[in-house]
């Protein structure tokens, strides 16, 4: 793979001509096939709790959103969802929640051990920023991976969407997770108000610098009951990145070129923008992972990070059947086993 510079990435992010786009899609698809192959790995997502101590300006789970009914799944409910993952032959469960101080460290450790004992599945945690001791305890209990999106690597933009939160703590968390031996995932939102093409290009190079194992890229979708949605209406910087499907897919395809071996999901946020084809397009443009939702239906609409989340009302079974049909019709196969990043564990940083 030729080295892509910041200038190359930025100019390819801006490209709109049909020929440049089809070249990008073809390259990303070829790199995907030759590195991670034809398998699409399924990770069953369980949204444990929508409580959150943070007040992020973009997120519908923010503490300040008093109108949202909060829930926390019971151990039995979580185990039932984990059993579904096994039944559907998913290789991984992803345990995700807001930064819920009611989820105690030992309780999560016990949960991890129980899931491992009863299902043997790979376990990915996505529980936000945590003390080092928690990360250590959960790794020891058997967790394999951790997802923590950086959202943007631009300090000023991050301050704007997380006022009052010190810059650098998420980076530090990601470094600690890698040191502890987790497979580490991060990612960004595309089209945050104030995000420029240059910022987005830098984010993509940062993925490589961090040598991430998983990278989630989705559009920013304004939630009307959050402060950032109001900013969307009034402020447009001249070089604002759009929050549309095409731009997200360009960022995804370029990420595949820059991080050839990473696991890249076709995100739910992207599928929300284009319900009929968003997932398929992503799988044809660099993605190799899908994260079907295994949260019980009664909680799903309460995990409202952004509005109108795709497939919010479908049951696990319908969702699963539908997904298998869509994936196989692309000529891809369903991944077997945990689907860890195995190739080339430490890649050479770009100069």
Minimal distance, residue 256 CB to ligand 5AD, in Å:
19
If we measure between CA atoms, which residue out of 340, 253, 265, 213 comes closest to residue 1?
253
Q: Among 58, 90, 135, 299, which residue interacts with ligand 5AD (rule: CB under 6 A)?
A: 58
Q: How far is the CB of 244 from ligand 5AD (least distance, A)?
A: 13
Q: Which of residues 24, 221, 251, 257 is near ligand 5AD by CB under 6 A? A: 221
Min CB(52)–ligand 5AD separation in Å: 10
Q: How far from the centroid of its chain's Cα atoms is residue 141's Cα? A: 23
- Site stretch for ligand 5AD (CB under 6 A), options 79-87, 220-228, 244-252, 286-294: 220-228
Q: Does 305 bind ligand 5AD (CB under 6 A)?
A: yes
Q: Does 59 bind ligand 5AD (CB under 6 A)?
A: yes
Q: Which stretch binds ligand 5AD (CB under 6 A): 26-34, 216-224, 275-283, 296-304?
A: 216-224
Question: Quick check: 310 and 275 in contact, CB under 8 A?
Answer: yes
d(CA 217, CA 122): 22
The alpha-helical segments, DSSP class H, found in the chain are 6-14, 18-35, 75-87, 105-119, 132-141, 155-161, 169-179, 197-210, 227-234, 245-258, 268-273, 278-284, 297-300, 316-328
Q: What's CA 170's distance to the chain center, in Å? A: 15
Is 306 one of the binding residues for ligand 5AD (CB under 6 A)? Answer: yes
In the set 220, 299, 303, 320, which binds ligand 5AD (CB under 6 A)?
220
Total number of residues binding ligand 5AD (CB under 6 A)? 12
Q: How many CA atoms, within 13 angstroms, populate the side-chain half-sphere of residue 50?
A: 22
Q: Is 63 exposed, middle or buried (0-12, 13-18, 19+ CB in 10 A)?
A: middle
Map the footprint of ligand 5AD across residues 183-202, applying CB under 6 A. 189
If one asks whether residue 264 binds ligand 5AD (CB under 6 A), the answer comes out as no
Q: Are 199 and 152 in contact (CB under 8 A)?
A: yes
DSSP class per residue in 289-343? EE--B-S-HHHHTT--SSTT-TTTT--HHHHHHHHHHHHHTTT-EE--S-----S
Q: Is the Cβ of residue 218 or residue 260 nearer to ligand 5AD in the bound state?
A: 218
Shortest approach of ligand 5AD to residue 84 CB, angstroms?
21
127 sits near ligand 5AD (criterion: CB under 6 A): no
Binding to ligand 5AD by CB under 6 A, coded x per residue (else -) over 139-158, reads ----------x-x-------
* Span from 37-45, 108-116, 219-227, 233-241 in contact with ligand 5AD (CB under 6 A): 219-227
Residue 340 neighbours by CB under 8 Å, 6+ apart: 122, 144, 145, 183, 213
Structure tokens at 2: 């030729």
Work out how close the CB of 192 gets to ligand 5AD at its nearest, in angstroms, rounded to a whole number.
9
Closest of 315, 136, 117, 102 to residue 125, by C-alpha? 136
Which CB sits closer to ligand 5AD, 220 or 260? 220
> What residue ranges bind ligand 5AD (CB under 6 A)?
58-59, 149, 151, 189, 218, 220-221, 223, 269, 305-306
């Amino acid at each position: 793979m030729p080295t892509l510079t910041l200038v190359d990435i930025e100019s390819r992010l801006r490209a709109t001509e049909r020929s440049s786009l089809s070249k990008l899609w073809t390259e990303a698809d070829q790199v995907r096939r030759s590195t991670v192959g034809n398998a699409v790995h399924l990770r069953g997502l369980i949204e444990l709790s929508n409580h959150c101590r943070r007040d992020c300006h973009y997120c519908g789970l923010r503490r300040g959103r008093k109108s949202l009914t909060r829930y926390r799944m019971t151990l039995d409910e979580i185990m039932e969802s984990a059993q579904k993952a096994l039944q559907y032959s998913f290789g991984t469960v992803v345990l995700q929640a807001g930064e819920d101080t009611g989820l105690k460290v030992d309780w999560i450790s016990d949960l991890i051990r129980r899931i491992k004992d009863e299902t043997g599945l790979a376990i990915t945690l996505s529980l936000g920023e945590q003390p080092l001791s928690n990360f250590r305890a959960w790794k020891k209990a058997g967790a394999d991976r951790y997802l923590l999106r950086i959202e943007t690597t631009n300090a000023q933009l991050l301050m704007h969407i997380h006022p009052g939160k010190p810059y650098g703590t998420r980076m530090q968390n990601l470094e600690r997770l890698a040191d502890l031996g987790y497979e580490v995932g991060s990612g960004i939102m595309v089209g945050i108000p104030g995000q420029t093409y240059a910022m987005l290009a830098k984010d993509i190079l940062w993925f490589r610098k961090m040598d991430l194992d998983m990278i989630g890229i989705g559009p920013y979708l304004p939630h009307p009951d959050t402060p950032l949605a109001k900013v969307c209406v009034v402020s447009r910087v001249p070089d604002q990145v759009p929050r549309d499907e095409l731009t997200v897919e360009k960022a995804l395809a370029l990420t595949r070129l820059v991080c050839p071996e990473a696991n890249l999901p076709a995100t739910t946020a992207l599928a929300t923008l284009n319900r009929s084809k968003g997932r398929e397009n992503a799988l044809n443009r660099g993605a190799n992972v899908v994260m079907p939702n295994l949260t019980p239906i009664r909680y799903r609409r309460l995990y409202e990070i952004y509005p109108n989340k795709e497939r919010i009302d479908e049951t696990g079974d319908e969702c699963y059947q539908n997904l298998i049909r869509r994936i196989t019709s692309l000529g891809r196969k369903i991944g077997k086993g945990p689907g860890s990043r195995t190739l080339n564990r430490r890649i050479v940083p770009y100069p």
